[in-house]
Amino acid sequence: KLEDVRSVDPAALAMLAVADREGYETVWDRLKQQQPQCRMGQTGVCCRICSMGPCRINPSGKKPDRGVCGADADTIVARNLIRMIAAGASSHSDHGRKPAILLREIAAGHNADYGIKDPEKLLAVAARLGIAVEGLSLLEVAGEVAEVSLECFGKQDGEPIRFLQRYMPARRQERFQRLETEIAASTGRRPGFLPRSIDREPVDVLHRTTFGTDHDPLSLLIQGVRCALADGWGGSMIATELQDVLFGTPRAKAAQANLGVIDADYVNILVHGHEPIFSEKLIDCSLGEEMQAVAREHGAKGVKVIGMCCTVNEVLMRKGVAVAGNHLHQELAVMTGAIEAVVVDVQCILPSMVNLTRCFHTRFITTSDQAMFPGAIHIQYDEQNARRVSEEVVRTAIAAFSDRNPAKVSIPQEVMEARVGYGVEELSRHLGGDLHPLAVALADGTIRGIVGIVGCNNPKITQDYLHVGLARELIREGVLVVGTGCSAIAVAKAGLMGLEVADQAAAGLRDFCRRHNLPPVLHMGSCVDCSRLLVLFSDLAERLDLDVSELPVVGSAPEWTTEKALTIGTYFAASGVPVHLGHMPPIAGSSTVTRILTEDLRGLLGGYFFVEGELLPATAAILAVLDERRARFLS
C-alpha cells in the first residue's frame, strides 16, 4: 500500500534499510510513535491562548462547543490559523531583513567581505522601486535600495509597503481597495488587506488573537491575508531581490541531485537551512586552494560542499552546488557515514540531527544564535567576520575526516543531472528578452497553463510521491511546471529537470521548450523565491491585460509541512492564484473558516484553497481549474 511506503526515492529507501538494520531512529519512526495524533489539533479546535484552558471544542458537534471564555470553533480555528501564518511570514521576513541590512552596510563601506555581485539587478530593483538613480554612484543606489527595503519593515504609517506598491500589478491593488470599500460600506468595518509594514502585520496578528480581542473569523482571516501579503510581496520579495543583488541573479546551469553527490573520497560539508549569506562565504572558503590543501594533508582528495533544503536551493541556483536532498533526506544524509559536518543556519532543521550525528563522526555545527541546538558545536557566524568564521568551520569539518569510520560508510549511487537556475530574468533571456513568447503560448493554448509546485516533504505522505507525480502528469498534459523549495529538489532527484524531459511533455509544451532551450519543469529557487512566481504571474497577467485571478495558473503544495508553506499558500490565494494542498490544514473544525478559504475567497480575491491527496484526482482538479480559467479568458 502506498501509505506504507516511506519514499518513492530509491536512495531514501536504501538509507531507510540501513536505518532499520542499524536501529537509527528517523522522522518516520517518531511519526509512528505519535499515533494516534490528536484530532483536536488536527482540526484546529484546541486553544491554549489563556490559562483558563487549555480548551477544546468537540469536533462532532456535541458539548463542549465553546471554550471557557466562550470562544467557539470558528474563533479558535481562525485564531490558530492566522498565528501559523504570522509565524511563517515572520521567518521568511526576518530572513529578508538580513540581506537588506547587509546591503546597507556594504553601501556605507562597513563591510568589505561582501559586495554587489549584480549591479544590473541593483539598478533594475531601484528602477522598480521608483528610486531616481541619476548622478548616484552604485553604492549610493545600494544605500537607497537598502533604506527603502528596511523602511518596509518598520514604517508606522498606514500606507501599503513600497515593495508591494511597486511590484504588485495596479489592477490587483485596486481590487483590494475596492473590496475594502465594499466591506466598509456593507458592514461598517474598516478592514485592511494591504500590509502597512512587514514587522507590524505579525504583531497585529498576535495582538488580535490574544485573549479577549478579535473573535470574528472573517476579520481574523483578513488580517491573516494581510500578514501573508507582507511576506510574499514584502519579506520574501526583498530576500529574493536583494540576494540576487548581493550574490548574483541565477543563470541556467547544470547540477546534480540526490545522496549520490556525497563523495567518500572527500571531506563532505553539508550546508542546511535557508539563508545564503553565510553559506556563500563558506563555499568560497571551502573551495579555495588553501582549504583544499589542508584537506589533502588529512588524507582526503579535497573538500566538497553539498547541501540540503533551501540553503542549497540558494547556492544551487547561483553556484551550481550539488543537492544532497530535500527535507526528509536530512537524517538519511548523516546515515551515509560520509558527512564530516552538517552546517546549519535557520529553519527546517530537525532537532533529532544532534543525536543522530553522535552515532557518527559528523560534527553538527550551528551558526546562528536564532537557531541553537543543545549538544551542537556553535560557531557564531557574523557578517563582519565571515572569512574567519568560514575558515573555522571548514577546518572543524576537515579535522573530523580522520575520525570517519569506513565500516559505517554507505552511500547510495543515485544521482541525477538537472538544469536549474531559472529565475524570471533567466527565463526571459531564454525567451528572447522578455516573457512575451510565454504569454502568447498561454493565450493560444500551446501551453495549457502554469503550475507552481512548491513546499515541503511530510512523512505522513510518501516522500516525493505527489511532487514528482504531479510534475510528470502535468507536463504530459501540456502544463509548464515551475518549482521551488523541497518540491523542486524532489523533481530534480527524480530526473525531471533535464532538457530532454521535454520529450515526455505534450506536443505544444515540448516544442516550446525545445525552441527556447528550456526544461518543462523549471527550478525557480528556494521557498522565499516563491516571490519569483508572483513576479512571473504578474508579468504574464499584465501582458495579457488580465488580472492574475484570470490567468490559467495554480499553486500546489502537495506535501506541505511548515507554517511557512501555509503563509505562501495564503499569499498566492490572496494574489489571485488557486492553491492545491495535498492534505488538510488544521481548519476542518470550523465549517465557517473552511468555507471562507475554499469558497468565499474565490469571489473576494479570485484565489482560494482546494485539497486533494490522491495523485490522479489532484491532477484532474488542477487541470479543471486551468481549463476553466482558459475557457473564461479565451471567451
Interface residues with ligand BF8 (CB under 6 A) are 274, 309-310, 327, 348, 455-456, 485-486, 526-527, 561-562, 564-565
> Smallest gap, in angstroms, from Cβ of residue 565 to ligand BF8?
6
Question: Based on CB atoms, which residue is closest to ligand BF8, 240 or 526?
Answer: 526
| DSSP one-letter code for 233 | I
Length of the chain: 635
Is the Cβ of residue 526 or residue 575 nearer to ligand BF8 in the bound state? 526
Nearest one of 543, 519, 534, 524 to 437, comparing CA atoms: 543
C-alpha cell at 443: 493565450
Is it true that the peptide bond before 217 is cis, omega within 30 degrees of 0? no
Comparing CB distances to ligand BF8, the nearer of 160 and 232 is 232
In whole angstroms, give the CA distance from residue 556 to residue 618. Answer: 10
Q: How far is the CB of 299 from ligand BF8 (least distance, A)?
A: 33
Instruction: Considering the complex, state which of residue 231 and residue 539 has its C-beta at the smaller distance from ligand BF8.
Output: 231
- Closer to ligand BF8 by CB, 146 or 466: give it: 466
- When the beta carbons of 175 and 564 are compared against ligand BF8, the nearer one is 564
CA neighbours within 13 Å on the CB side: how many for 523?
39
Residue from 102, 82, 377 nearest 202 by CA: 82
* Amino acid identity at 405: N
Give the count of beta carbons closer than 10 Å to the beta carbon of residue 155.
16
Our CB check for ligand BF8 shows the closer of 347 and 428 to be: 347
Q: How far is the CB of 80 from ligand BF8 (least distance, A)?
A: 19
Closer to ligand BF8 by Cβ: residue 313 or 538 = 313
Tell me how far, at minimum, the Cβ of 490 lies from ligand BF8, in Å: 10
Q: Which is nearer to ligand BF8, 357 or 487 (CB)?
A: 487
Whole-angstrom Cα distance, residue 167 to residue 187?
30
- Name 309's bridge partners: 273
CA distances from residue 353 to 23, 305, 333, 344 in whole angstroms, order as listed: 15, 18, 10, 11
Nearest approach in angstroms of CB 464 to ligand BF8 is 12
Taking the least distance from each CB to ligand BF8, the nearer of 55 and 271 is 271
To ligand BF8, the closest distance from the beta carbon of 483 in angstroms equals 10
Using the structure block, give the residue that is written with the C-alpha cell 506541505: 560
Residue 103, SS3 per DSSP: helix
Confirm if 47 and 53 have CB atoms less than 8 A apart.
Answer: yes
Indicate the SS3 state at residue 269: strand
Yes or no: say if 208 and 226 are a contact pair by the CB < 8 Å rule.
Answer: no
Least distance (Å) between residue 532 CB and ligand BF8: 14
Taking the complex as a whole, the smallest distance from the CB of residue 68 to ligand BF8 amounts, in Å, to: 34
In the complex, the smallest distance separating the C-beta of residue 466 from ligand BF8, rounded to whole angstroms, is 13
Closest contact distance (angstroms) between CB of 94 and ligand BF8 is 13
Give the separation between CA 330 and CA 307, rounded to whole angstroms.
9
Residue 72: name the closest of 609, 591, 584 by CA: 591
What does 359-401 look like in DSSP terms, one character per residue? Answer: TSS-EEEE--TTS--TTSEE----GGGHHHHHHHHHHHHHHHH
Torsional sign, CA 241, 246, 249, 250: negative
CA quadruple 49, 50, 51, 52: dihedral, nearest 10: -110
Angle, CA 9 vertex, CA 344 and CA 485 arms, to 5° = 45
Closer residue to ligand BF8, CB minimum distance, 482 or 546: 482
Query: Which CB, 309 or 611, lies closer to ligand BF8?
Result: 309
- What's the rounded Cα separation, in Å, for the pair 112 and 333? 35
Shortest spacing between CB 486 and ligand BF8, in angstroms: 3
Q: Residue for cell digits 504578474?
A: 538
Least separation in angstroms between residue 485's CB and ligand BF8 is: 3
Which residue from 552, 310, 578 is spatially nearest to 444, judged by alpha carbons? 552
CB of 347 vs ligand BF8, minimal distance in Å: 6
Helix (H) or strand (E) holding 339: none
User: With respect to ligand BF8, which residue has the nearer C-beta, 485 or 552?
Assistant: 485
Q: Strand, helix or coil at 557?
A: strand
